[in-house]
Amino acid sequence: MEEREKDIMFKYWHELVRECDIKKLFPKMIELKTMTWEDINNNFCTDDQLHNNRLFFFHLQEKHRGFKILLGALRESGQKNMAELLSPKPTGCISFVKPMYDMVDEVPKSPVVKSFNDMDISFISSNQPKPINTLPSERFFDTVERNGKINFYSTRSKKRGQVLILNNYKFYNETEYPTRTGGKVDQKNLIDLFTQLNFNITEHIDKTAEEMKLHITNFARYSKEKVSDICFVIIMSHGTEMGGDTVVCGKDGIKISSRWIEEQFNNENCALFRCKPKVLLYQVCRGNDLDYNKGYTQTDSATSSIELTDNYHMPYSMRTVEDMLIGYSTLIGYKAHRDPNLGTWYIDILCRIFSEYSRDTHVQDLLILVDQYMKHRMSENCSVQTSESSNKGFGRCYLHPGIYEENGILKKF
């Protein structure tokens, strides 16, 4: 389908999704071999008819002559008014009025996949979350042969990682900070994912800013029992941007700077994960804007022989900030989308990508895949989202789900 034809569809997107009876179009799609009954049954026959319609029209956009076929099918199925709407006589320009939103994050009816061809991953075809099933690695990828001159971490021990999950979805001031409906779905998905990744999980729900700080500093504090290959910190809450910095809200509305959070895990403050991969993920809004589809108007970590304690002094050559990868659900200045049934777009996609691709893909590339998949989602208001990541001296980190090394032998968990 040509870009100008896609533009027309986006212009009347609301009418198409709400008013068109796609079931009447199916026979013509089959007759012209535009779709198969397998396509239809697998993708457009869920209990959520609006979701079916959105997926159908996005799928049609990928087809050659899709727009002309659509117009013909509409006319033959008795939906001539819709066909005329999509092919009106010139009447001048109609300006697009951006919808007004007063919520802290955007909550669409359900996510929309914009393409069926770009990603080799199962698409959402219902309004219920799909279970997390992490595929295991068959071999180790933290080798010179695999990575060449690129720095990588050794991630083969049985104590694979520690993850801290802070999730606020109910707040004292419900007017200013509405309940983050769908936040519990994110929590379950993350617990399932990191359990299958063989991480030790520390989780806290609905905490004040002061309580969040306490849990962060406790998690970063050294203890021999917590020594592991990898560190993840995942924070989900309301948030915004202040002075160029992302801030996270406690349930009391008091804000914590992301810079302060990251400082707790630098080499000076965090002996526990010094010289080890640290991944910090923020599922928060970073402003009040929504992004709209433009067609219509996101060292080796082997344990050191030195005893690492909180009193250990950094070698002169060690940098204060390194081995850190930061992931943000959205760009600075923008809101993030949250689905009441499926959770936030970012965490939902992240869990799917990690569960399917972490068996042979390093973490930074996993975050790139998250954003590649994110660009194929759109709310029914045509708002979209771009995720972002920041590499601060971070090498290649493989999660190696399902396997570990003992005495030089690969073993399964």
Give me the CATH number covering residue 66: 1.10.533.10
- pLDDT tens digits in sequence order for the chain, 413 residues long: 787 888 788 777 778 888 889 888 888 888 888 888 887 887 777 766 777 787 788 878 888 788 888 988 898 899 988 888 887 554 444 333 333 333 344 444 444 433 333 333 333 334 667 899 999 999 999 999 999 999 999 999 999 999 999 999 999 999 999 999 999 999 999 999 999 999 999 999 999 999 999 999 999 999 999 999 999 999 999 999 998 899 999 999 999 999 999 999 999 999 999 999 999 999 999 887 766 554 432 222 223 333 434 444 444 456 778 899 999 999 999 999 998 888 999 999 999 999 999 999 999 999 999 999 988 887 767 788 999 999 999 999 999 999 999 999 999 99
Is position 111 within any domain?
no
Range of the domain at 378: 144-412
The answer to whether residue 373 is domain-embedded is yes
Judgement on whether residues 150 and 80 belong to the same structural domain of the protein:
no
Taking residue 35's Cβ as centre, other Cβ atoms within 10 Å add up to 20
Q: Is residue 308 situated within a structural domain?
A: yes
State whether 206 and 325 are in the same domain.
yes
Q: Which residue has the tokens 């433009």?
A: 294
- In-domain check, residue 225: yes
Residue that the structure tokens 């804007």 belong to: 289
pLDDT at 379: 77
Task: Say yes or no: 78 and 210 in one domain.
Answer: no
On whether residue 123 sits in a domain, the answer given is: no
Q: Are residues 33 and 180 in the same domain?
A: no
Which sign does the torsion angle of CA 307, 310, 313, 314 carry? Answer: positive
Q: Does one domain contain both 261 and 363?
A: yes
Among residues 237, 214, 272, 221, the alpha carbon closest in space to that of 344 is found at 237
Q: What is the CATH number of the domain that holds 351?
A: 3.40.50.1460
What does the pLDDT read at residue 322? 86
Could you write out the DSSP letters of every residue in 197-226? TTEEEEEEES--HHHHHHHHHHHHS--GGG
Give the chain's domain count. 2
> In terms of domains, do 191 and 78 share one?
no
In this predicted structure, what is the pLDDT of residue 89? 52
The residue from 70, 86, 102 where one domain ends is: 86
pLDDT in tens, 95-137: 333 333 333 444 444 444 333 333 333 333 346 678 999 999 9
Domain annotation covers residue 187: yes
Both 170 and 272 in one domain: the answer is: yes
Structure confidence at residue 127 (pLDDT)? 60
Query: Which 8-state DSSP code applies to residue 322?
Result: -
366-402 residue pLDDT tens? 999 999 998 888 776 778 899 999 999 999 999 999 9
Residues 152 and 271 in one domain: yes
Last residue within a domain, chosen from 65, 86, 107? 86
Pair of tokens at residue 48: 């959520």
Q: Let me know whether 208 and 80 are in one domain.
A: no
Residue 188 falls inside a structural domain: yes
Q: What per-residue confidence (pLDDT) applies to 103?
A: 35
Residue 105 lies in a domain: no
| Token reading at 263 | 């400082």
Q: Which of 61, 86, 111 is the last residue of a domain?
A: 86
The CB-side HSE value for 177 (13 A sphere, CA atoms) comes to 21
**Same domain, residue pair 28 and 169:** no
SS (H, E, C) 165-201: EEECCCCCCCCCCCCCCCHHHHHHHHHHHHHHCCEEE
Residues 159 and 79 in one domain: no
Residues 396 and 264 in one domain: yes
Q: How far is CA 30 from CA 20, 27, 37, 38, 50, in A?
A: 18, 5, 7, 10, 21
